[in-house]
A and B are shown apart, each in its own frame.
Chain A
Amino acid sequence: MTQTLSTLAPLRLLKLREFWLAISIAVMIGAIATRAPSFAAPANLADIFNNTAILMILALGQMVVILTRSIDLSIAANVALSGMVIALCNASMPWIPVPLLILAAPLLGLALGAINGFLVWKLDIPAIVVTLGTLTIYRGTTFLVAGGQWVNAAEMTPDFISITRIQLLGLPLLSWFAVVIAAAFYVVMTRTPIGRSIYAIGVNPTASVYAGIDVGRTKFIAFCISGLVAGLCGYLWVSRYVIASSETAVGYELQVIAACVIGGVSIAGGVGTVGSALLGALFLGVINSALPVIGVSPFWQMAISGAAIILAVVLNARAGRKTGRIILKRAEAVS
């Protein structure tokens, strides 16, 4: 059953939706370029990409969870806690090589994600309740481990800060992190059994059970994946903004969910691709970069992204209703 999924009409429609989203991003960039030509310059586009890298990585993690009909509200708190612990390690033990810290960050995030996944899997508590709880717990713990202090640039080692800024083939390493992770997600989601299982339990949990998929365990893995990337982003965030505090990425979980929704990831599960999450994040990234360029006060940013979310969900729902009908007709035809 899972193998025939890719040939179903909804996914073809979805590709169309990504196509339109990409077009609208291009049109947006073009329109802004008419007022500020430098906006569309390759260097500026690379800059926007780099500024959106963390959002893109987190949106991929969130997408995997949303595909399984769950949600991870703790993703930004995980970023803050993992980032804080890694920054504290760097500040107090500067002799630890930075690559080791970069490896440790995702593992830390993985552990936090596994706690979410465990509660959802073994205790069967709804994901929104679990992650609402762990969101406050992780953020409070961030404050506790740092004793209410910040870790600032002076306390971090130069390597810790500069690694994400190393230029490679014209892009900073931070951007390459996003590229590599997006590629990894693409492979996992489309070419591995776990990727197919994640889609399957989102589309139809009951059928998945009969197909031999452990729904709870698959959700657990989804939360581990989301935790893993959140942990990595913990390091990336601290390195990018050169500060770790308990206020790091406050409320960012909603931006991440917004990126998924704008990309067309269905909150009902089972619908969404790596490309859609990336484009959703880029859409927000372009808007955020464009506002100062066209002379709009940054205070408009929040309302505009809110309007974008509502517009996206209205458009997605229309497309979704169409695909729903098609599935129904097919099912009728088969029976």
Chain B
Amino acid sequence: MNDQTPATRHVPDRLDNPLRSALFSWPSLLLVVAVAIFVANSLASPYFLSPWSLSDATFNFTEKALIALAMALLIISGEIDLSVAAIIALASTAMGFALQFGIDTPGLVAIGIGTGLLCGAFNGFLVTRLGLPSIVVTIGTMSLFRGISFIVLGDQAYKGYPESFAFFGQGYVWWVVSFEFVLFLAAAAIYYVVLHRTSFGRRIFVIGNNATAAQFSGVRVERVKFVLFCLTGLMAGIASVLLTSRLGSTRPSIAQGWELEVITMVVLGGVSILGGAGSIVGVVIAAFIMGLVTFGLGLLNVPGIVMSIFIGLLLIVVIALPIVYRMVRK
């Protein structure tokens, strides 16, 4: 958990440490929090512990969590993408636009995912080729992408998606297990392998810890970062397909404010916002925590905006606790 303090960034040779400590301590702390919230939910509402409720609960976070997986890699590499929610809006608008020309489900999905990928590549181009700070670039593209949706749609909405398109956001693979949930689990497994079991994943950590050293070690820093921006855009495109399918319509204000929730998920999952440390397991548990909190409070009729207080407190408290603990022990 040392990786939460900026001071450790000055220690150069700690390639193994943050990974191991994140794997062994942060996720276990999160798991305790998740179980506590699960128990609290089942005590607070009699409707919580039913298969269908739990299945509904997953819809609260699967789309955001899919983006969070790629965002985790991006943040570990020391960059950030604030435009993901805007990419959802633009990809959704592109699908709705294509729908007007009678394009069917496979084409729509390809257009949605392709738009996401293009947007990610655009971000990656600006950050890696022109050497711009990603936080500023993606604040800009966030306005640009959503702005294009507003230009196309204004105060209108695209509706009338084909029946077969509804499967992605509303379909069930088996009993109460939704397509979205299965997709999320599969993606989580893939991202776990990529980050923790491949040389590409190692490179991401190296870049996040010391980009200059990585460069001199023969890591193509810019290419890796470009790929990560593309991946984040791709996941936002996939999330856009799921969300559009679930809502059955496209408005330019779709997924407004999601970028902050996705980043909260990633940071809560133990990924250092300064880069260089984090794990997919932590992010997955954090996704469950956020889903459980919002769903549990929803069952208690707590309005969404009040839930955000809990999410905000959770974020700060979970990160502050280990720090306070260390200070007190000293």
CB distance from B200 to the nearest CB of A (A): 26
Chain A positions within 8 Å of B58 at CB level? none
Chain A positions within 8 Å of B274 at CB level? 126
Name the residue of chain A whose CB is nearest to the CB of B86: A306
In the complex, identify which listed stretch (A23-31, A136-144, A164-172, A236-244) lies at the interface while the others stay far away: A136-144
Q: B136 is contacted by which of A134, A302, A309 (Cβ under 8 Å)?
A: A309
Chain A positions within 8 Å of B99 at CB level? none
Chain A positions within 8 Å of B148 at CB level? 303
Interface size class of B (residues with CB under 8 A): 35 or more
Query: A129 interface residue, CB < 8 Å from B?
Result: yes
Q: A128 is contacted by which of B5, B155, B273, B323 (Cβ under 8 Å)?
A: B273
When A140-B306, A143-B303, A144-B309 are in contact, do A129 and B267 touch as well, CB less than 8 Å? yes
Query: B324 interface residue, CB < 8 Å from A?
Result: yes
Summarize B's interface: helix, strand, loop or mixed. helix
CB distance from B122 to the nearest CB of A (A): 10
- The answer to whether B309 touches A306, judged by C-beta atoms less than 8 angstroms apart, is no
Q: Bound state CA distance, A84 and B126, in angstroms? A: 39
Chain B positions within 8 Å of A268 at CB level? 133
Chain B positions within 8 Å of A119 at CB level? 316, 320
Q: B6 is contacted by which of A126, A261, A305 (Cβ under 8 Å)?
A: A126
B interface footprint on A297-315 (CB within 8 Å = 1, 0 otherwise) = 1011111111101100110
Name the residue of chain A whose CB is nearest to the CB of B311: A136
- The answer to whether A314 touches B130, judged by C-beta atoms less than 8 angstroms apart, is yes
Name the residue of chain A whose CB is nearest to the CB of B7: A124
- The answer to whether A309 touches B143, judged by C-beta atoms less than 8 angstroms apart, is yes
- The answer to whether A306 touches B308, judged by C-beta atoms less than 8 angstroms apart, is no
Q: B142 is contacted by which of A73, A140, A306 (Cβ under 8 Å)?
A: A306
Q: Which of A135-156 touch B at CB < 8 Å?
A: 135-137, 139-141, 143-144, 148
Chain B positions within 8 Å of A133 at CB level? 264, 312-313, 315-316
Q: Bound state CA distance, A272 and B133, in angstroms? A: 16
Q: Which of B257-275 touch A at CB < 8 Å?
A: 257, 260, 263-264, 267, 273-274
Chain B positions within 8 Å of A71 at CB level? 135
CB distance from A327 to the nearest CB of B (A): 17
Query: B144 interface residue, CB < 8 Å from A?
Result: yes
- The answer to whether B305 touches A140, judged by C-beta atoms less than 8 angstroms apart, is yes
CB distance from B113 to the nearest CB of A (A): 22
When A136-B311, A310-B126 are in contact, do A124 and B5 touch as well, CB less than 8 Å? yes
A interface footprint on B131-157 (CB within 8 Å = 1, 0 otherwise) = 111011101111111111011001100
Query: A211 interface residue, CB < 8 Å from B?
Result: no
Q: Which of B288-311 touch A at CB < 8 Å?
A: 303, 305-309, 311
CB distance from A129 to the nearest CB of B (A): 5
- The answer to whether A302 touches B143, judged by C-beta atoms less than 8 angstroms apart, is yes
Q: Bound state CA distance, A310 and B140, in angstroms? A: 5
Query: B319 interface residue, CB < 8 Å from A?
Result: yes
Query: A188 interface residue, CB < 8 Å from B?
Result: no
When A123-B320, A133-B312 are in contact, do A299 and B136 touch as well, CB less than 8 Å? no
> Among the interface residues A123, A258, A302, which one has the most CB atoms of the partner chain B within 10 A?
A302
Query: B178 interface residue, CB < 8 Å from A?
Result: no
Query: A97 interface residue, CB < 8 Å from B?
Result: no
B interface footprint on A159-193 (CB within 8 Å = 1, 0 otherwise) = 00000000000000000000000000000000000
Q: Bound state CA distance, A334 and B199, in angstroms? A: 43
Chain B positions within 8 Å of A299 at CB level? 150-151, 154-155
Chain A positions within 8 Å of B132 at CB level? 313-314, 317
CB distance from A165 to the nearest CB of B (A): 30
- The answer to whether B323 touches A304, judged by C-beta atoms less than 8 angstroms apart, is no
When A140-B308, A140-B309, A313-B140 are in contact, do A300 and B6 touch as well, CB less than 8 Å? no
- The answer to whether B143 touches A305, judged by C-beta atoms less than 8 angstroms apart, is yes
Q: Bound state CA distance, A137 and B308, in angstroms? A: 7
Query: A65 interface residue, CB < 8 Å from B?
Result: no
Q: A258 is contacted by which of B140, B146, B312, B319 (Cβ under 8 Å)?
A: B140
Query: A125 interface residue, CB < 8 Å from B?
Result: yes
- The answer to whether B143 touches A303, judged by C-beta atoms less than 8 angstroms apart, is yes
- The answer to whether B143 touches A306, judged by C-beta atoms less than 8 angstroms apart, is yes
Chain B positions within 8 Å of A313 at CB level? 132-133, 136-137, 140
Query: A96 interface residue, CB < 8 Å from B?
Result: no
Q: Bound state CA distance, A257 and B303, in angstroms? A: 29
- The answer to whether A148 touches B154, judged by C-beta atoms less than 8 angstroms apart, is no
Q: Bound state CA distance, A257 and B147, in angstroms? A: 17
Q: Bound state CA distance, A139 and B274, in angstroms? A: 26
Name the residue of chain A whose CB is nearest to the CB of B317: A133
Query: A86 interface residue, CB < 8 Å from B?
Result: no
- The answer to whether B147 touches A303, judged by C-beta atoms less than 8 angstroms apart, is yes
When A134-B312, A306-B147 are in contact, do A125 and B306 touch as well, CB less than 8 Å? no
CB distance from B310 to the nearest CB of A (A): 8
Query: A251 interface residue, CB < 8 Å from B?
Result: yes
CB distance from A326 to the nearest CB of B (A): 17
- The answer to whether B320 touches A306, judged by C-beta atoms less than 8 angstroms apart, is no
Q: Which of A277-335 touch B at CB < 8 Å?
A: 297, 299-307, 309-310, 313-314, 317, 321
Query: A254 interface residue, CB < 8 Å from B?
Result: yes
CB distance from B67 to the nearest CB of A (A): 16
When A123-B320, A144-B306 are in contact, do A129 and B141 touch as well, CB less than 8 Å? no
CB distance from B82 to the nearest CB of A (A): 8
Query: A271 interface residue, CB < 8 Å from B?
Result: no
Q: What are 26 inter-chain pairs, A to B, with CB distance below 8 A?
A: A71-B135, A119-B316, A123-B320, A126-B274, A132-B264, A132-B267, A133-B316, A136-B260, A136-B311, A143-B305, A143-B306, A148-B303, A251-B257, A258-B140, A267-B136, A297-B154, A299-B151, A299-B154, A302-B143, A303-B150, A307-B144, A309-B139, A310-B137, A310-B144, A317-B131, A321-B131
18 additional contacts (CB under 8 A) given A136-B264, A300-B147? A71-B135, A119-B320, A124-B6, A124-B7, A125-B316, A126-B274, A132-B312, A136-B308, A136-B309, A137-B309, A143-B306, A148-B303, A258-B139, A268-B133, A299-B151, A310-B140, A314-B132, A317-B132
The 6 closest A-B pairs by CB, nearest first: A303-B147, A306-B143, A306-B144, A302-B147, A140-B309, A309-B140
